[in-house]
Structure 1
Amino acid sequence: MYVVIVYDVAVERVNKVKKFLRRHLHWVQNSVFEGEVTLAEYERIKVGLRKLIDEDHDAVIIYRLRSMPPRETLGVEKNPIEDTI
């Protein structure tokens, strides 16, 4: 499955969340990650995020898709995803 994760967490947790997600997904831009994951990886990511965030104050949104959707970038792309075959 393909996932897009966006988050809004307290400043003191931003770097921990970013470091964690970089181990699993592709960084797209500030507070946005995406990538192809297995169901087991998806579950590990959710468990890891729950350990890092404060669910009473932080927010993480995970979009689950069947495959990478077509994308169009307007302006500067901070970290382009290479097209691989």
Structure 2
Amino acid sequence: MYVVLVYDISGDDDGQKVLGKVFKICKKYLTHIQNSVFEGELTEGQIVKLNAELNKFIRKSLDSVIIFKSRNERWLNKEFWGKQDDATSNFF
């Protein structure tokens, strides 16, 4: 399954610690494409593991994670508006 994951971590006193942990976890599973945005191919099992790892650190009243799922990368179009980063994978 192809996923795009975005997160928003609260900027309170503990937010920096949470942000670092969330970033490292997401980087284990997905490709970092922009600030708090990741993309990549994951199995359902990997999605469950990712969710479990993130839930150890995400503060449900302050932080959020959104995962957009698609059966296949080819069903999504990616358009760059502004600076294009060549280090990303591409939607077709």
Q: Note the 1:8-47 alignment, pairs <5 A.
A: 8-9=8-9, 10-47=15-52
Of 65, 71, 75, the match for 1:66: 71
CA distance in 1, matches of 2:83, 2:16: 25
CA distance in 1, matches of 2:21, 2:60: 15
Which aligned segments of 4 or more residues in structure 1 are displaced greater than 6 angstroms?
none
Q: Normalising to structure 2: TM-score of the pair?
A: 0.81
Larger radius of gyration: 2
Runs (5+) with no aligned partner, structure 2: 10-14
Bigger Cα displacement from structure 2, 66-75 vs 21-30: 66-75
Count residues in correspondence.
83
Over the aligned positions, Cα root-mean-square deviation in angstroms equals 1.6
Identity %: 36
Q: CA deviation at 1:37?
A: 0.4
